[in-house]
Structure 1
Amino acid sequence: MTVSVRRAVPGDVSHILDMIVALAVYEQEPDAVKATEDSLGQTLFGPNPQVFVHIAEQDGKAIGLALWFLTYSTWTGRPSLYLEDLFVADSARGDGVGRMLLAALAREAKALGCARMDWAVLDWNEKARGFYMRIGAHHSTGWEPWRIEGEALERLAANG
């Protein structure tokens, strides 16, 4: 199996969306994806992109992705790379594709002067958690994820 990893280009948008949908199905949220090829194209390749994708390919076919963006750590005084989504097609799982994608992001993080890489894992995804531990990652404790969305976000924006 010959797999290569590269930065995504505009022609990859349909494959990126397909993998996002496949990830949502895997994460038991098949109807959660609202992204479209157009919205992804604008976000990833518009005039000021803030979100980036690395694609894993085997024989020219997209088999994995790592979607990421930069955040900032005030404590380190340096940027951090945040991995939003990591996906590997069923047919390629266990073949080192996830490790290749994360290694590419680690090189990207180093090139950008990042102090660390961060991501979230669903609490039921034991396979992913085991994989992350094997590569040397650790579960952060003490911080809980919080979110505001939908009507609550609208109210806060409107009423302060």
Structure 2
Amino acid sequence: MRLLANLEEILASIAISVTVVVVIVNVFLRYCLGFVVPWSEELSVICFTWSVYFGISSCYKHKLHMGVDVIMSFIPQNGQRYFRLLISLFLLALNVTMAYLSVNYTMLSTKVTPVMGMSYFPINSVLVICFSLMAIHTIRFIIDDLKPSDSNTLNETQ
């Protein structure tokens, strides 16, 4: 369960670690031994892309993206919960749409990388995975917003 709870962080860490190791090894080989591994640039770009998208999903899961709270300050306290719910519903629609478009985009991936000859299908599939994860996180946000808050429970019992 802990593995699933930290899936994005683990996969982003692995991807960025592979990127760093491949780049360091390739720089060492180039300047110390005079040759390069031809596929290293492609692999490092692919892993970097995966680390970025899993990082985006991780930040979204922990609500670490920047937000503008100016609008929330103008909304009465009892209406803020509904406004957050409205925003979450919008983000759910956006993430589901992006996941759907990513599936279409990934299915149309017929190109291959120039050096490794690898299909772009697994490279582009990170889009489907991450937008789907973000949609799942949004559903969790909506469920949390629908739960009664402690202040409402205290007011009802008094």
TM-score by length of 2: 0.25
More strand by share: 1
- The structure number with the bigger radius of gyration is 2
Q: Which has the higher contact order (CA 8 A, sep 6+)?
A: 2
Task: Identify the structure with the greater helix proportion.
Answer: 2
